Amino acid sequence: MPIEPTEKIWMNGQMVPWADAQIHVLTHSLHYGTGIFEGIRAYETAEGPAVFRLTEHIERLHNSAKILMMDLPYSVDELVDATKQVVRESGLPSCYIRPIAYYGYGEMGLATSACQTDVAIACWPWGAYLGDDALTKGVKLKISSWQRHDHNIMPPASKTTGNYANSTLAKMEALRAGYDEAVMLNRAGLVAECSGENLFVSRGGKLITPPLSSGALEGITQNSVSVIARDLGLEVEIGDIARSDLYIADEMFVVGTAAEVSAVNSVDDRPLPCPGPATTAIAEVYAAAVRGKDDRYLSWCESVA
Ligand code: PPE
């Protein structure tokens, strides 16, 4: 999807014109995949734009840094404020936000001890990640031939840029085979997640989503959706899922900041009821929650005003 430029990008504490927000070709993280990032959305609410679960996203960025032993030069509070400033100054009612921290220009070689950490935060308008029909018609999934990297290869709990080469291999394979998204299995052969979303399966009246130990990212939307589902009276369990559980699911959906709640219409050409009743009910509450229209979840909406 082409990026729609906004006016300015926050770089190391300064608001820089969009076209000037550039880095050197010898930037360390470009060569070694050692950046860390977040994907966040701001939505239009009655109080103006509000960033959904901003503090949790920035806390996860700090955790990613901890795992990589990267010194982030800005505290959670400073990055929360900077993100709000970026959204406020963009003038956009809603947008996607991409904070990234990376080892900058100045050192080469795998050791990062002498590298400086640069931080940038950009935002731009971004529509439906898996297509406009993702909730009504659903998306076609394919089990990837690529395995999810695991805890002793590239820790999935860190949103490291290099991890996403694994996701890109899976995504491109799925797209070229005519599917919308890839399901990735871990080294034990169990379902972990999709290339850019967590997933939920409904079987026997219960929603099941794979644990962090499966190799999945500890998704913030996965958490929001679990809370919403329980508030709707649905049973939610974090547990192991085999690929055959997907084929015989009562319904299935995938979740992420970018993808929001997207229905699944088939897995490996086995059709699923779509959108199922739980998917529809959860998506409706999620859409209201992110826009500050459901009092139960107002604390998740962090106003930029
Ligand atoms: N798993 C992966 C691998 C992942 O990348 C995401 C976010 C999720 C699960 C869902 O996490 P959360 O956003 O906290 O609910 N994927 C980002 C899009 C990746 C991309 O840049 O493309 C996102 O949704 O922002």
Q: What is the pLDDT of residues 171-223, one digit of tens each?
A: 999 999 999 999 999 999 999 999 999 999 999 889 999 999 999 999 999 99
The whole-angstrom separation of Cα 211 and Cα 214 is 5
Closest-CA residue, ligand 1 atom 8, reads 197
Q: Ligand 1 in contact with 154 (CB < 6 A)? A: no
SS3 of 32, please? helix
Q: Is 159 a catalytic residue?
A: yes
The whole-angstrom separation of Cα 228 and Cα 208 is 14
The whole-angstrom separation of Cα 263 and Cα 253 is 4
Counting from 1 in the atom list of ligand 1, the atom nearest the Cα of 216 is 1
SS3 of 201, please? strand
Indicate if the alpha-carbon torsion angle 266, 272, 278, 280 is positive or negative.
positive
Q: What is the mean pLDDT of the chain?
A: 97
SS3 of 286, please? helix
Query: Do residues 24 and 49 touch, judged by C-beta distance below 8 A?
Result: no
Counting from 1 in the atom list of ligand 1, the atom nearest the Cα of 198 is 9
The pLDDT, as a whole number, for residue 64 is 98
Spacing, Cα 256 to ligand 1 middle (Å): 5
The whole-angstrom separation of Cα 285 and Cα 263 is 15
Domains and CATH numbers, the chain: 8-124 (3.30.470.10), 139-290 (3.20.10.10)
Q: What does the block give as tokens for 267?
A: 């897995």
Strand 36-37 vs strand 95-103: parallel, antiparallel, or unpaired?
antiparallel
Counting from 1 in the atom list of ligand 1, the atom nearest the Cα of 223 is 15
The distance of Cα 175 from the centroid of its chain, to the nearest Å, equals 19
Q: Ligand 1 in contact with 294 (CB < 6 A)? A: no
The pLDDT, as a whole number, for residue 185 is 98
Q: What is the full per-residue pLDDT of the chain (305 aa) written as tens digits?
A: 789 999 999 999 999 999 999 999 999 999 999 999 999 999 999 999 999 999 999 999 999 999 999 999 999 999 999 999 999 999 999 999 999 999 999 999 999 999 999 999 999 999 888 888 988 999 999 999 999 999 999 999 999 999 999 999 999 999 999 999 999 999 999 999 999 999 999 998 899 999 999 999 999 999 999 999 999 999 999 999 999 999 999 999 999 999 999 999 999 999 999 999 999 999 999 999 999 999 999 999 999 99
Closest-CA residue, ligand 1 atom 22, reads 196
Spacing, Cα 116 to ligand 1 middle (Å): 26
The pLDDT, as a whole number, for residue 47 is 93
Query: Do residues 261 and 283 touch, judged by C-beta distance below 8 A?
Result: yes
Question: In 132-291, which residue ranges form alpha helices assigned H by DSSP?
Answer: 164-176, 220-231, 243-247, 277-290
The pLDDT, as a whole number, for residue 163 is 97
